[in-house]
Amino acid sequence: MIGSIIKSTGSWYLIRNDKGEIFNSKLRGKFKISNHNLSNPIATGDEVEFDEDKNNLGNYIINKILPRNNYLIRKSIKKKNNGHIIASNINQAIIISSLKNPFTKSGFIDRFLISCFAYRIPALVIYNKKDILNKKEKNRLNQEIDYYKKIGFNSLSISAKFDKKIKKLKSILKNKTSLFIGNSGVGKSTLINRLSYNANQKTSEISKKSNKGKHRTTFSQIFDIDKKTKIIDTPGIKTFELFDIEKNQIKNYFPEFIKINDKCKFNNCLHINEPSCEIKKEIDKSIWRRRYNNYLSIIRDF
Ligand SMILES: Nc1nc2c(ncn2[C@@H]2O[C@H](COP(=O)(O)OP(=O)(O)OP(=O)(O)O)[C@@H](O)[C@H]2O)c(=O)[nH]1
Ligand SMILES: [Mg+2]
Ligand SMILES: [Zn+2]
């Protein structure tokens, strides 16, 4: 039988076939070994071949993953040489961020955008919790949004809790499979509960002490908004470390660098300390200093 993974816990998986039937399944043992550089051989969104376990009727065993159209991957937290697939077969990935309670670091957003670019997944930046911002913070946020839009990433601000309609977001999601990722507590599950008729995700208040989320969602799972519109909810993560991306390629994943990259004196210029670097001349002009600083910090991770 063939179906797709709608929930993955790392030890067992829910598969749904195209009739909408759900199967509880596990991986065949040898499967894990053949995918040795991944901390999770199977991810939410994967299409798989599976059979009933003859020794344990009512339980199912995954035999094979069908080729993935795409996937988003980050460095595993536990094993630094491994990658962790966040989800596969998606149309777009959305980082849900917030400026307050919790504060999403710009380095997280930019690392996410690089990975999406490198793995050819359209990426969006959505800022939630607009309702708790004062005027000054809203102005700052609008500038961020404008910059991300200018360099080709759709971006907007919303309030999952107080917006009467989230029309714009709904039209962005329409007829697509979208991945939601972000820090714990930014409101991913709250949003999904508002958007999906079958989602009843538990949400949790922000810790008053740290202004951070409490890691309420523990497994990634697909929810239907309608027949063709799906969202994948994922557990909150602190940051997004790049996996399998080369240091000297990073500059090509900053859209605002692309036209300038070749104008530097040295064609292998990394835009750090090299003389006659055109990228550095553009800082505070066409290049936002914060993006350049994040670029440097990513380069220094290597
Ligand atoms: N003020 C305000 N609070 C919000 C908004 N959206 C969500 N919240 C609150 O933020 C808290 C965290 O929301 P969740 O939906 O659990 O966050 P999450 O991103 O799913 O967090 P994890 O599952 O831990 O990754 C809850 O108390 C929500 O009610 C919003 O737009 N405005
Ligand atoms: Mg959640
Ligand atoms: Zn340069």
Q: Is the CB of 212 under 6 A from ligand 1?
A: no
Domain with CATH 2.40.50.140 in the chain: 2-65
Write the residue with the smallest CA distance to atom 22 of ligand 1: 184
Q: Is the CB of 204 under 6 A from ligand 1?
A: yes
Strand runs labelled E in 69-219: 71-75, 83-88, 92-97, 123-127, 154-157, 177-181
Which residues are close to ligand 2, an ion, with C-beta < 5 A?
188-189, 216-217
Domain with CATH 3.40.50.300 in the chain: 71-233
Torsion, Cα of 250, 252, 255, 259 (10° steps): 140
CB-based burial, 241-277: b 16+ in 10 Å, e otherwise: bbbebeeeebbebbebbeebeeebeeeebbbeeeeeb
Closest approach atom of ligand 1 to CA 96:
19
Write the residue with the smallest CA distance to atom 26 of ligand 1: 205
Write the residue with the smallest CA distance to atom 27 of ligand 1: 205
Across 69-83, 96-110, 177-191, least confident range: 69-83
Q: Is the CB of 186 under 6 A from ligand 1?
A: yes
Stated length of the chain:
302
> Measured in angstroms, how far is the CA atom of residue 100 from the centroid of ligand 1?
11
> Measured in angstroms, how far is the CA atom of residue 285 from the centroid of ligand 1?
35
Q: How many of the other CB atoms lie within 10 Å of CB of 227?
A: 7
> Measured in angstroms, how far is the CA atom of residue 283 from the centroid of ligand 3?
11
> Measured in angstroms, how far is the CA atom of residue 251 from the centroid of ligand 3?
9
Per-residue confidence (pLDDT) for residue 86, from 0 to 100: 97
> Measured in angstroms, how far is the CA atom of residue 106 from the centroid of ligand 1?
19
User: CA end-to-end span of the chain, whole Å?
Assistant: 43
Chain segment 216-246, per-residue pLDDT in tens: 999 999 999 999 999 999 999 999 999 999 9
Q: For residue 102, is the peptide bond before it cis, meaning its omega torsion is within 30 degrees of 0?
A: yes
Per-residue confidence (pLDDT) for residue 289, from 0 to 100: 98
Structure tokens at 244: 């399998």
> Measured in angstroms, how far is the CA atom of residue 157 from the centroid of ligand 1?
14
Per-residue confidence (pLDDT) for residue 34, from 0 to 100: 58
Please report, for residues 39, 48, 110, the alpha-carbon distance to residue 63 in angstroms, rounded to integers and kept in the order given.
Answer: 18, 7, 36
Domain 2-65 maps to which CATH number in 2.40.50.140, 3.40.50.300, 3.30.365.10, 3.40.50.970? 2.40.50.140
Contact 37, 82 (CB under 8 A): yes
Angle between helices 289-300 and 106-118 (to 10 degrees): 70
pLDDT of 18 above 60: yes
Chain segment 114-138, per-residue pLDDT in tens: 999 999 999 999 999 999 999 999 9
CATH of domain 247-300: 1.10.40.50
Give CA–CA dist 151/168, Å, rounded: 20
Q: What CATH architecture does domain 71-233 belong to?
A: 3-Layer(aba) Sandwich (3.40)
Helix or strand (DSSP H, E) at 230: strand 229-233
Domain with CATH 1.10.40.50 in the chain: 247-300
Closest CA to 10 of 27, 23, 24: 27
Give CA–CA dist 203/3, Å, rounded: 29
